[in-house]
Amino acid sequence: MENTSVPAVDTVRESYSARAQEYADLFGSVTSAHPLDLALIGSWTDTVAGPVLDAGCGPGQWTNFLAGRGLAVSGVDLVPEFVERARAQYPEHSFEIGSFEALDTPSGALGGVLSWYSLIHHSPNDIRIPIAEFARVIRSGGGLLLGFFEGPTVEAFDHAVATAYRWPVAALAQQLTDAGFEVVETHTRRESGYRPHGAITAVRSHAR
Ligand SMILES: C[S@@+](CC[C@H](N)C(=O)[O-])C[C@H]1O[C@@H](n2cnc3c(N)ncnc32)[C@H](O)[C@@H]1O
């Protein structure tokens, strides 16, 4: 297989492994999610058919949420501690340790991918790799939902776990268009006490 690995992947895995318990205690339940994020992800589930992949599922709370909305869903994450916790907490769902840079999923097999804050550590040079992988595994007409840190320019910043990046919506939308997605909706939110948030829903438009 072509080497599609991203240099930062090992750093990201090790950094989350070291703080997996802390992260899961803080964010491992949808009750800690912003109500507008719950509403957006909930309404997105009405637009996709399964199977859906929660790509970078962390402790699995969104996988469980999507399943609760009636979708056939599984989760994948780099970090064994997250996957172990997700399996223990939600034994009825399927979780795998792996990288979404190179999924063990046939082309066009998925109806959708949720990537909720899971591309935040990918540099502008690297982000096309997972986006191309999402485009490969989502069938034509299938959906993608990205959540990310929004900002006026593409810019790295010190995130508590590992270096992360802010993206203008238009720049990330262009990455999706370049990979064969059609952007459907964009959302931004600025609230004191929170980092600016962005979300994009897109549909896999054509075979590349
Ligand atoms: C900020 S956390 C978000 C986790 C979860 N989606 C949530 O909303 O709580 C980023 C997650 O992406 C995962 N991740 C980052 N790069 C990945 C990759 N290449 N393959 C699989 N998972 C990855 C990390 O391990 C981490 O669990």
What per-residue confidence (pLDDT) applies to 186? Answer: 98
Other CB atoms within a 10 A radius of the CB of residue 5 amount to: 13
Write out pLDDT tens, residues 40-92: 999 999 999 989 999 999 999 999 999 999 999 999 999 999 999 999 999 99
Which residues make Cβ contacts (< 8 Å) with residue 11, sequence separation at least 6? 162
Å from CA of 49 to ligand 1 middle = 22
Ligand 1, pocket-test mutation among 12, 97, 115, 137, most atoms within 8 A of CB? 12
Asked, for residue 116, whether it belongs to a domain, the answer is no
Orientation of helix 80-89 relative to helix 20-27, angle to 10°: 40
Asked, for residue 27, whether it belongs to a domain, the answer is yes
What per-residue confidence (pLDDT) applies to 8? Answer: 79
Q: Give the chain's domain count.
A: 1
Q: How confident is the model at residue 207 (pLDDT cuts 50, 70, 90)?
A: low
What per-residue confidence (pLDDT) applies to 3? Answer: 38
With beta carbons less than 8 A apart as the criterion, state whether 103 and 82 touch: no
Atom 24 in ligand 1: residue holding the nearest Cα: 56
Asked, for residue 82, whether it belongs to a domain, the answer is yes
Query: Could you tell me how far CA 173 lies from the centroid of its own chain?
Result: 15
Expressed as residue numbers, the domain containing 86 is: 12-32+57-97
- Ligand 1 atom closest to Cα of 115? 6
